[in-house]
Amino acid sequence: MTKVRRDALKELTTAQSLRYSRHLMLPSMDFHGQEALLAARVLQIGVGGLGCAAAPYLVASGLGALTLVDDDVVDSSNLQRQILFRQSDIGHPKAAVAARHLSGMNPDTKLSALTRRLGQQELQQMLADFDLVLDCSDNLATRNAINAACFATGTPLVSGAAIRLEGQVISFPMDGTQACYQCLSQLFGEQQLSCMESGVLSPLVGVIGSMQALEAIKILAGVGEPGYGRLQLFDALQGQWQSFQLPADPHCTVCGQGS
């Protein structure tokens, strides 16, 4: 259930049918799902470890348009886990570098980059042009701002986070029927530790970022059941997943009666 317009769908060309043949073999995907994906537009906020893992799978899978947003530049410490970047990219804007590296992967995907921080009003206005938001940011204030904008515009949200050896991913339909990210974030405060201070295992961000891409593709292509409102927690040390259904808070200041 997304904002992808049915009149925007186009039949696959012969070349596209060959390129995405492994998708087309899946009964739940088939031509209709791939065509919906090719018509879809995603706004990805954050091009760090999570974003560098999610974006290549979205592009390779045949997403129609991907806009990357990040106001940071590549640092040498990023290279341990942010796999889109190279030594020669140090000091350059992450979003622009990532878009450049991704551009050779798939001509079907229109790539663009914003190398500045978006204000709340600008972000909310932009969402009219997108079918889904991928939150790959690294701080609570940004995540809450993204959540509020998505709820205000009814734009589905896929949120991920990873630190140390722990990660999480959760999706929200933003249609007023289920919880929003604020229902979760109000249960805890801003993390005082960052990856710089507490560390993060390199493949962990790949696991969570890939899961975000999977959730986004399922939502946009109408494949299977998206994990709406289901908080998935990954313990990399033990190699175990846990899953919890997040209840909507009736007093939530974003989606509840307290708004």
Residue 253 falls inside a structural domain: no
CA 241 to chain CA centroid, Å, is 19
Tokens in use for 132? Answer: 């889904």
pLDDT in tens, 162-206: 999 999 999 999 999 999 999 999 887 655 545 555 789 999 999
Q: Does any domain span residue 259?
A: no
How many structural domains does the chain have? 1
What does the pLDDT average to over 46-71? 98
Per the domain annotation, does 41 fall within a domain? yes
Give per-residue pLDDT as tens, 67-99. Answer: 999 999 999 999 999 999 999 999 999 999 999
b/e burial code for range 243-256 (CB count within 10 A of at least 16 → b) = eeebeebeebebbe
**Tens digits of residue pLDDT in 113-172:** 999 999 999 999 999 999 999 999 999 999 999 999 999 999 999 999 999 999 999 999
Residues sharing a CB contact under 8 Å with residue 47, sequence separation 6 or more, in sequence order:
55, 68, 69, 70, 72, 82, 84, 94, 95, 98, 136
Please report, for the domain that includes residue 93, its CATH number: 3.40.50.720
The answer to whether residues 137 and 191 touch, using CB atoms and an 8 Å cutoff, is no
Share of the chain above pLDDT 90, in %: 89
**42 with 132: CB under 8 angstroms?**
yes
Contact assessment for residue 176 and residue 228, using Cβ atoms and an 8 Å cutoff: no
The boundaries of the domain holding residue 119 are 6-245
The pLDDT assigned to 189 comes to 61
What pLDDT does 7 receive?
A: 60
Question: Angle 145-151-155 (CA atoms, 0-180°, nearest 5)?
Answer: 105
pLDDT of residue 186: 86
Q: Is residue 192 part of a domain?
A: yes
Other beta carbons less than 10 A from residue 65's beta carbon: 18
Is the overall model pTM greater than 0.85, yes or no? Answer: yes
Q: Is residue 258 part of a domain?
A: no
Whether 15 maps to a domain, the answer reads yes
What's the 3-state SS for 153-219?
A: HCCCEEEEEEEECEEEEEEECCCCCCCCHHHHHCCCCCCCCCHHHHCECHHHHHHHHHHHHHHHHHH
Query: Mapping DSSP to helix (H, G, I), strand (E, B) and coil, where does residue 238 land?
Result: coil
Helices 49-61, 94-102: crossing angle, 10 deg rounding: 30
Distance CA 249, CA 21 (A): 43
